[in-house]
Amino acid sequence: MHVAAEPIAALPTLPWLPQPLLALRAGESGRYTEFTPLGSGGKAEVFRCRDPQLGREVAYKVLHHRLANNEAEVADLVREARIMAGLAHPGVPTVFDIGFDCHGRPFFTQTLITGATLRSVVDGLRHGGATASDAWPLERIVRVLLTAADAISHAHARGVLHCDLKPDNVIVGPDDRGHVIDWGIACVPAELIQQRGLMAPGAPPPRPPHRGSPLYMAPEQAANLSLDHRTDVFGLGAVLYECLTLSPPATGRNVADVLGRIETTSPPTPRQRSPRRGITPELDELTMRALARLPADRFGSAIEFQLALREAHLDLLVNYDRDPPPNADPLESPCDAAELSDWWELQLTDQWPGADAVKLIAGK
């Protein structure tokens, strides 16, 4: 059944959106206290801290010191906060505050979500045996993905593409809702950027959206082609694939190898990859449709993906026979110990390198 995507709605106009950020007065950045590190990436750090004025804990994301004077990176962080502020969905963290700290670094605060990422869930299932499987049956995983897909549908209705969906960017909240985080390379149509002031006057133009994590990229993203909502449908399929099989959909020893395979081959079906995981035929089929190499062969929208996933979820709830198909032998997992470190390095890459860098990574 084909379901049309929601019409693109205008992002709400917030009074400060079109304005450049102003440096804080001396001592003003001391509003936040009790900092505890939550994580650190190549460009920013995230802390858990307390806002004494409002009496609550928040997540505080701030650019690394070495990038404080990099106009493009500053613009990216500000743009991420403003894009998130234009979304209003329980599966997207709410932005509370934005500014410069006392060191001149841009920061923003957002909802503090307590819970594990789907990356942690997958790792636990891979190494935790029956105990982890009992805690995370397929029905529960699919339920989390349904809520994450709903957040992506909401973003699409406002003209925003996430462009970096992967297990690391979905946090499972206490109610098993999937919260989609890290909107740093989200793609927004140029006309919407100008119309709604998502870029401060005088700031550098937004980066091209052809960045992301190689292990989870859609073929058109890997090939630097135009992106649309079906790019995120592929991302949702990639997350679902790894949650089902405990292996990413793409394989390879280096970035160049991974990108080449994404553009030219399809992964084994989930039931072929992991026949003993109890994956239903419906889940198998919808996952591979979402991962189709050609956008036209995928679900037409995130909403359409949701509807198919909801039907598969209902099938799981009626006690589908989870015995593996007869004579089914699992394929050799690509995630052997010798490759894991390289794989995690690949999936953490948020911008693939140019030809010279690929040669370095490949050791050529």
Domain with residue 187: its CATH number is 1.10.510.10
Give the residue-averaged pLDDT of 278-305: 95
Asked whether residue 262 is assigned to any structural domain, the reply reads: yes
Question: Residue 25 has what pLDDT?
Answer: 44
pLDDT at 350: 41
Indicate whether 169 pLDDT > 90. yes
Q: Both 189 and 328 in a single domain?
A: yes
Residues 173 and 301 both lie in one domain:
yes
Domain endpoint, select from 88, 111, 134: 111
pLDDT exceeds cutoff 60 at 74: yes
pTM of the complete model beyond 0.85: no
* Residues 356 and 318 both lie in one domain: yes
Q: Are residues 297 and 174 in the same domain?
A: yes
Q: Is residue 1 part of a domain?
A: no
Q: Per the domain annotation, does 13 fall within a domain? A: no
User: Would 14 be classed as within a structural domain?
Assistant: no
Domain closes at, from 94, 111, 128: 111
The pLDDT tens digits of the residues spanning 102-119 come to: 888 899 999 999 999 999
Mean pLDDT of 331-339: 42
Are 122 and 49 members of one domain?
no
Q: Exposure pattern of 157-181 as b/e (b: 16+ CB <10 Å)?
A: bbbbbbbbbbbbbbbbbeeebbbbb
Structural domain containing residue 128 = 116-362
8 in a domain, yes or no?
no
Higher-pLDDT residue of 55 and 4 is 55
Are 60 and 159 found together in one domain? no
pLDDT of 281 reads: 93
Share of the chain above pLDDT 90, in %: 49
Same domain as 139, residue 107: no
> Do residue 223 and residue 329 come from a single domain?
yes
273 & 169 share domain: yes
Report residue 212's pLDDT band, with 50, 70 and 90 as the boundaries. confident
Q: What is the mean pLDDT of residues 221-225?
A: 87
Q: Tell me, yes or no, whether 78 and 120 share the same domain.
A: no
Pick from 65, 93, 111: which residue ends a domain? 111
Residue 265: pLDDT band with limits 50, 70, 90: confident
Task: Let me know if residue 6 belongs to a domain.
Answer: no
Asked if residue 241 and residue 183 are part of one domain, the reply reads yes
What is the number of domains present in the chain? 2
Mean pLDDT of 257-281: 90
> Which residues are CB-neighbours of 336 under 8 A, at least 6 positions away?
none
Please report which confidence band the pLDDT of residue 264 belongs to, taking 50, 70 and 90 as the band edges. confident
Contact 145, 165 (CB under 8 A): no
Does residue 187 carry a pLDDT above 90? no
CA distance 204 to 64: 19
Asked whether residue 155 is assigned to any structural domain, the reply reads yes
Least confident of 82-91, 111-120, 341-350: 341-350
pLDDT-derived band at 4 (thresholds 50, 70, 90) equals very low
Mean pLDDT of the chain: 79
Distance between CA atoms of 35 and 38, rounded to whole angstroms? 9
Question: What burial class does residue 197 get, using C-beta atoms within 10 Å of its C-beta: 0-12 exposed, 13-18 middle, 19+ buried?
Answer: middle
pLDDT bracket for residue 224 (50, 70, 90): confident
- CATH number for the domain spanning 105: value is 3.30.200.20
Confidence of residue 238 (pLDDT cuts 50, 70, 90): very high
Asked if the model's pLDDT at residue 287 lies above 70, the reply is yes
Residue 62 reports pLDDT greater than 90: yes
Look at residue 363 in the predicted model and tell me its pLDDT.
30
Q: Evaluate whether residue 352 is within a structural domain.
A: yes
Q: Same domain for 159 and 100?
A: no
